[in-house]
Amino acid sequence: MSTVLAASPPPMSRRLARPAKGALGLVLFLALWQASVPLVGLEPYFYPAPADVWRAFLDLVTKGILPVYLIDSIGRYAGGVAIGTVLGIACGLAIGISRLADRTLSPAINFLFAIVEVAWIPIFVIWFGYGFKTILIALTYVVFFPMLYNTLVGVRTVPQVLVNAALSLGATRLQLLREVILPAVLPNIITGFRVGAGFAFRGLIFAEIVAAKSGIGYLIFEGAANHQTARTIVGMIVMGLLWLGIDNLYLKPVERMTVERWGSVTTAERRE
Amino acid sequence: MIRPLAATLALALGYFGYEAWLDAGGARKLAGIGVPAPKGHYELRVAFPPEGFHVTRMQAIGRLIEVKGQSVFLMDVEPQDLRAIARNYWVVGVARWKGL
Amino acid sequence: MTRLARHLPGLLPFAAAIAFWLVLPQAIDYPTYMLPPLGQVIDRIGESVMDGSLALHVRDSLWRLALGFAIGNGIAIPLGVAIAMNRHVSDLLRPLLTFLQSIAGIAWVPLAIIWFGIGMGSVVFVIANTIFFASIHNTVTGVQSIPNTLHRAVRSHGGSGVQVLTELVLPGALVQIILGLRTSMAYGWRALVAGEMIAGTSGLGYMTIEAVQWYKTETILMGMIVIGLLWLALDRILFVPLENATIRRWGMIRR
């Protein structure tokens, strides 16, 4: 099929056509979904139709449920990401600057990181109970580790030449940090932020399913538990839209900013 | 950098605007109540048969005596809790109730 | 001697943690379920190994992971290659796949429970779902990153469609696909633990969260340790050698 493109269309129309094709893809998907419902012939709680989902969405909004859940989820997410990012960067810089601290703490950090964040939820529930506090702590933890890890890696790979040059010019520790290390580490921090934000989003939904009484994750769970599967699907779609917003409004612009200013960033896919 | 800042600004404005709208609605619904008693009894009317979500929140602020159709009867509600629950846009009316 | 000295600082935090753990119950009074004494945790590990319950959970978890990994990648990689070969199809499906990837995994657990009930079916479905979307994204990106000029070069040398596939696309995308295997495994592992916690009837995740109800914190800690060690083992034993044998040897990894 690629040979059909031998007479390539002008770039401008190609750029306009692509989002249109994507939208068409979504429309086709919805159409196929709606059409398959009578064919599958199962009850709505097993296989809801897009129409059912839309109705459930309106229902959730008019009854005031969705706004509350949405605000709760966003609040938890923003709080956890903010705290985790600051702590992660601070600790990453503090540990990374000292070679000894790095060598001492890295194996322990790697071990703790290997215990995936979802595995910490049970002990957090034991320590902090259910509810907002626990979820905030869990999200902070989830963001902290990728931030710490990536910042550390960044500090480690600052070219020694630059550090020596700055020191030989009489830079204090603080100046060294601000003028040399911080700019060099920034791409890694951005990567860590992107990874952490992604993990935190999935962690949010998981924590809300397990340890909360409100929120989008809870909505997804509650809908299924009450056999109101259309509500579950509303929750899943809202979750996807939420991530779309986070990724396009915050994560991608920040990443692009770093690429423009400092010219290099490794994409999140390469760092777990 | 402009997109994150604009997004945050829009979100903040939206959020505070929403909360202000809720406050205004609450004040309107409570206008006919007068001065609420320290432990008042009220009938809350909602626009639909209340679900667990709503019942839980109402139970948190007072003693839930009965749910009749689209009305919920509560006793021993404190003024600030009354204001909090009346803010919700799914509450369409608040009336004093003589209780049991 | 110097080798030991190099590794010594790394052991310090572990030694300190163990010391702290041993001293704490003596020093402060607190409910045992918050942090059971080290001895109790070790006993729990011992008894789980002895009566085989730990081995059972590990086996169930690994089996589900393997199944989900095989199904997820087995469908995603061929499908991804097929989609990526045609510009129109990939343009059509890309936004849909991106959207679905953002909700892949955990968000499907409640739906999976409705469809498959609690147990293995749901957990494997969630793992496969997670891995599928992670992998297809990687595969499509990998195939599409092959420069068009190479496509035309193969064609101009008289290469048929099949040859384009086997000689150009597959080797060209292989690096991305192999990297994708590692990433998808990481996501899949998380999906496994999380899925077992919500919808499992056995396995490490199930074992860990079930202990919360009974305040059996020593089981929780045991679960966490095993989960951590198991992931380290999986990652280091499976993927590092794989990458060394393939990507590193071909000189294509940037680390």
Query: Could B3 and A249 be called an inter-chain contact, meaning their C-beta atoms sit closer than 8 Å?
Result: yes
Contacts of A190 in chain B (CB under 8 A): none
Contacts of A22 in chain C (CB under 8 A): 91-92, 94-96
Pairwise CB contact (< 8 Å): C107 & A235: yes
**From the CA of B7, how many Å to the nearest CA of chain A?**
7
Are C228 and A239 in contact (CB < 8 Å)? no
Give me the residue spans of the domains in chain A: 48-270
Position A268 pLDDT exceeds 50: no
Query: What tokens does A96 get?
Result: 């990374």
Q: Give the pLDDT score at A271.
A: 38
Distance (Å) of CA A211 to CA A66, C9, C202? 18, 38, 20
Binned at pLDDT 50, 70 and 90, residue A265 comes out as: very low
**CB distance B48–A62 less than 8 Å?**
yes
Whether residues A116 and C231 touch (CB distance < 8 A) is answered with: yes
A158 vs C160 pLDDT, higher one: A158
Give C188 or B100, the one with higher predicted confidence.
Answer: C188
Question: How far is C-alpha C190 from the chain's CA centre?
Answer: 6
Per-residue pLDDT, A12? 64
The reply to whether C41 falls in a domain is no
DSSP A234-259: HHHHHHHHHHHHHIIIIIHHHHHHHH
pLDDT in tens, C30-51: 888 888 888 888 988 999 888 8
**Domains plus CATH for chain B?**
2-96 (3.30.70)
Please give the pLDDT value at position A14. 60
Is C18 a domain residue? no
For residue A9, pLDDT beyond 80: no
**C198 domain residue, yes or no:** yes
Domain CATH code at residue C176: 1.10.3720.10
Counted domains in chain C: 1
- How many angstroms away from the CA of C144 is the closest CA of chain A? 12
pLDDT on residue A4: 44
A272, pLDDT greater than 50: no
Using pLDDT thresholds of 50, 70 and 90, give the confidence band for residue A100.
confident
Let me know if residue C31 belongs to a domain: no
d(CA B64, CA B62): 6
Look at A63 and B89 and tell me if their CB atoms are within 8 Å: no
Residues of chain C where predicted confidence (pLDDT) is lower than 70: 1, 247-255
Q: How many CB pairs under 8 A join A and C?
A: 174
Neighbouring chains to C with at least 3 Cβ pairs closer than 8 Å: A
Print the SS3 string covering C29-97. Answer: CCCCCCCCCHHHHHHHHHHHHHCCHHHHHHHHHHHHHHHHHHHHHHHHHHHHHHHHHCHHHHHHHHHHH
Residue C104 lies in a domain: yes
Q: Is residue C13 included in any domain, yes or no?
A: no
Question: pLDDT at residue A151 above 50?
Answer: yes
Please, are residues A194 and A221 in contact by the beta-carbon 8 Å criterion?
no
Residue C70 lies in a domain: yes
Interface contact flag, A67 B18, Cβ < 8 Å: yes
What pLDDT does residue C246 have? 72
Query: How many CB pairs (< 8 A) connect A and B?
Result: 31
Within a domain: C79: yes
Q: Which of A23-27, A142-146, C46-50 tops mean pLDDT?
A: A142-146
Local confidence band at A59 (pLDDT 50, 70, 90 cut-offs): very high
pLDDT, residue C9, reads 81
Residues on chain C touching A119 (C-beta within 8 angstroms): 193, 205, 208, 223-224, 227-228
Look at residue C254 in the predicted model and tell me its pLDDT.
47
Cross-chain CB nearest to A63 (options B15, B51, B56):
B51
pLDDT at A261: 64
Number of H helices, E strands in chain B: 3, 4
Task: Please give the model's pTM, rounded to 2 decimal places.
Answer: 0.87
Domain residues for the domain of C119 are 54-248
In terms of CA atoms, which chain B residue is nearest residue A215?
B53
pLDDT one-digit tens code per residue, A215-255: 999 999 999 999 999 999 999 999 999 999 999 999 988 88
Chain A residues with beta carbon closer than 8 angstroms to that of C225: 115
Pick the CATH number of A48-270 from 3.40.50.2300, 1.10.150.120, 1.10.3720.10, 3.50.50.60: 1.10.3720.10
pLDDT value at A267 more than 70: no
Q: Which residues of A touch C223 (CB under 8 A)?
A: 119, 122
∠ CA(B59), CA(B65), CA(B69), 5° rounding?
95
| Contact assignment for C86 to A2 by CB distance below 8 Å | yes
Q: What pLDDT does residue C250 have?
A: 66
**Model confidence over B30-85: pLDDT tens digits?**
888 878 788 888 899 998 999 999 999 999 988 898 888 899 999 988 888 899 99
Sequence-separated contacts (24+) of B22-29 with Cβ below 8 Å: B22/B87, B22/B88, B22/B89, B23/B87, B25/B86, B25/B87, B25/B89, B26/B83, B26/B86, B26/B87, B26/B88, B29/B86, B29/B91, B29/B92, B29/B93, B29/B94
